[in-house]
């Protein structure tokens, strides 16, 4: 059975911080045990990210949903 784990993050990759790398490592660990992380970021992510962004983004095999 595959469980979906819902994560609501302040910000995420591609921004670089201890928070984003730690979160990504948690997602990898969850995937390794057969769980399916679902990742949503707050509007603060877009405020911090100066590049173009899309409502959905694939990073290292994980789909990030932007609000």
| pLDDT digit string, tens, across residues 24-38 | 999 999 999 999 999
pTM for the full predicted model: 0.85
Enumerate residues 6+ apart whose C-beta is below 8 A from 28: none
Evaluate whether 8 touches 42 at the Cβ level (below 8 Å): yes
- The residue extents of the domains of the chain are 4-66
pLDDT of amino acid 53: 77
pLDDT at 49 over 90: no
Q: Which residue, chain included where needed, has tokens 């910000």?
A: 11
């Amino acid at each position: 059975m595959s469980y979906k784990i819902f994560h609501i993050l302040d910000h995420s990759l591609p921004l670089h911080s201890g928070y984003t790398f730690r979160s990504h490592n948690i997602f990898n660990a969850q995937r390794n045990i057969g769980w399916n992380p679902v990742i949503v970021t707050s509007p603060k992510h877009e405020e911090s990210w100066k590049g173009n962004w899309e409502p959905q983004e694939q990073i290292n095999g994980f789909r990030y949903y932007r609000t």
